[in-house]
Amino acid sequence: MTNEHGNGLFVTVEGIDGAGKSTQIAMLKAALEYQGRRVCVTREPGGDDLGETVRNLLLSGAAIDRAELLLFMAARAQNTERVIRPALAEGAIVLCDRYIDSSTAYQGAGRGLDIATIEMLNVFATNALLPDITFLLDISPRIGLGRQQVHSAMEREGTAFLARVRQGFLAIAENSAGRIVVLDAAIPVNDLHAEILQFVSKRLQVDPESNATV
């Protein structure tokens, strides 16, 4: 997998349901735009029109596990090619609500599908596009579920399922320490935002790979 992509910065946000990803993405977008940066927000499943159609299919909850995985991958392929890569090529900061790690954690650790197969499909779906930085907003399923007013199909799987997903995310983070930053999502929203903004600002100042400012 590669994360060499033009002048843009590719940021993904991961975590179990109720971790506060959408709130943090909205706050980060506002802060970066205030600094005059170009920001593109996208989400998975979703992205372009086809990705959003796949999202509606997925959230209806009718798919068997392998079909579900492949639908997430189809939406991911659309999102990567139609939304993320073009935005990065234009030098935007892309903020993506869920990406490859959600499939490994939910379909792998959660559903029990083969992790190596999921990783292979992630490479195929994205044409090997890795995020520059991934924030894993870590929270206990009990607190996460307590925050949600409407429960999605995944949340209805219950706390045991989400506990496996959480452990799955943490295991991925351990193996990808250079890319994934684990943050405690139980702290106050503004404190978490400050931490995330600090990491992103540091990455924007100097890109250690190219030694150029982004």
- Minimum distance, C-beta of residue 22 to ligand TYD, in the bound complex (Å): 6
Cα–Cα distance for residue pair 18/75, rounded to 1 Å: 22
Summarize as ranges the residues that interact with ligand TYD (CB under 6 A). 17, 22, 44-45, 72, 97-98, 102-103, 106-107, 152, 154
* Amino acid occupying residue 45: P
Cβ-based nearer residue to ligand TYD, 71 or 204: 71
CB 76, CB 44: distance < 8 Å: yes
- Minimum distance, C-beta of residue 18 to ligand TYD, in the bound complex (Å): 7
Q: How do strand 93-97 and strand 9-14 relate by DSSP bridges? A: parallel
- Minimum distance, C-beta of residue 53 to ligand TYD, in the bound complex (Å): 15
Q: Which residues contact 205 (CB under 8 A, 6 or more apart)?
A: 213
Number of H helices and E strands in the chain, helices first, is 9, 5
- Minimum distance, C-beta of residue 199 to ligand TYD, in the bound complex (Å): 21
Cβ-based nearer residue to ligand TYD, 76 or 193: 76
- Minimum distance, C-beta of residue 208 to ligand TYD, in the bound complex (Å): 29
Cβ-based nearer residue to ligand TYD, 8 or 45: 45
Cβ-based nearer residue to ligand TYD, 44 or 132: 44
Cβ-based nearer residue to ligand TYD, 45 or 141: 45
- Secondary structure (DSSP) of 91-135: TPEEEEES-HHHIIIIIIIIT---HHHHHHHHHHHHTSB--SEEE
